[in-house]
Structure 1
Amino acid sequence: MKDNPLRSLLAAAELTVLKFDNHRLRAINYRNRVIHDYYMMTYVRSGSAKLRVEDRVYDIPPGTVIFIPPLLEHDQYKDTDEETEFLWWHFTYRIQNAIDVLPFLRIPFIYPLRDHRRFEDAFDELMLCQNPEDGHLPKVILQKAKSLELLYVLLDSAVGQAGADNPELPPAGFLSLLLKIATRPEANLSLAELAKELHMNPTYVSNQFKKTFGKSPILLHREMKIAKAKSMLETGERTVADIGADLGFQDVQSFTRLFKKYAGISPSQYKRLFENRPV
């Protein structure tokens, strides 16, 4: 079966749930709200509400999902005093906390949830896992499992519901290039090598990649190296020299120079920030 780069990108991403809760409200009035750095998904179990995006106002009946990406200005409010139950969570879905993969799915701002029973049951179980005082360690695993199940149910209903006027996916060749950059931070990639794989001019590849994904391929690959280096340094199990070598640097000086450019401190200083922390 032919490889699907988008499927591989989704598989490589990590779900991070920042906050979640269940609220029953008779009044809500968020105006011109903008969320930074994470996504918000809200599900209405009962009652109703309103959502404004740009110049359009949407009714939010029971069984509806609101999907708010970062930097989208919106209003969320109620115009009746009936009680409405909101199940909501804030999360990211990124590769090495650097590449956000959700924009490729073209998720609509609002859509009906098909398998609402499964979602509600999974969310209720997730709520039972949030007590930090509970010493039952397997609940940590259950919380991760339920979080992924929620994401699956939400995306399963969302994918394919976007209108025909939405932009097309990036070309498969550029998605494959993004996948290579995302999953091979240790490689020494050159623009000439990447362009050769696509049988295109290097300058054209760099410009189109930046236009599509916001950054040039080489810049993004450097950021992936630093993100991977941070995660390895945080464990404290490897020396700085070993980590630099694993990530393709010729010497520790080159590793230190690039790391300090992005992180503001040296790898050794960054590593010490995570030493002797309680488990």
Structure 2
Amino acid sequence: MGMFPEYHDTITVANVKRGQLPFYILEITIDFLINMHHHDYVELLYVVEGSGIEIINGKKHTLQPGTASFLLPHHIHEIQGNPASPLRVYCCMFDISVLFGSRFDFELVGRLLRSGGDLPSFVDFKNEQIEQMNSIFSSIVREYTGSNFGKFTFIRVKLLEALLQFARELQPAAQDEFRPALDSQKRLENVIQYIHTHYAEKLTLETLSKKFNLSPPYISQGLKKLCGEGFVDYMHKIRIGSALSLLSSTDMPVADVAVEVGFDSYRSFTRVFRKLRGMTPSQYRETYINTDDIASHFTQG
């Protein structure tokens, strides 16, 4: 039987009351393996101490002090802690709606939505930047555990500050001057949120158009302006990104992977995969899996 990624029910863990910001933060120590998993919430992870390995959508990177990782809903990831140097991290979990608070945030949101696609899922801050990020997360924790007036407004402001610092480090990134009208903009934001949490379902421009009362051309154009691709290409990128992680991190049969990420047929999955990655899913698995990589990282000199 193939190994499937675990689903973490972050919404239940958050236990958000009506009117509260859909957000929580944990300060935790990791010296063990956190198995491959995914969840509904966006995650911003920041390393304060220690070392380890993180794999996001099949791509591996080192965790060290100053590393920040950003994951959109249902990005698949795992963390390998190092018992000799335990990780101490801040982990912010929040609903994707938190990103869409103002029509002036489109530049920031547009870049963040490309994280894990044509932009990396992590950055490594240095020197003064580390001090600044440490201060931001410490202030979020203090506010989150307190009861000051405007608590959740303060948290969102500091969270956006951290996300802005993260987004500024992502390279390269095109400037986005797309500014739709306010009412239709809000509905387009809802479309993007919906796509990221329902990408494995049968989604079409027509169904989204009816659901959100936006014309199919407007949705396609809006996605292209904001995220860099039209609807079909954007859906393919999200689905193939999820497939990369399943192929590199599990022994799930390729046909099952195709179904899991939302493709109607194995043939269409293989065709799109080859177009985006230049090889078949089976070739990708054979070429890029090396089960000794994580272990060797901690045994080298």
TM-score after normalising by structure 2: 0.46
Greater share of helix residues, 1 or 2? 2
Higher relative contact order, structure no. (Cα contacts within 8 Å, ≥ 6 residues apart): 2
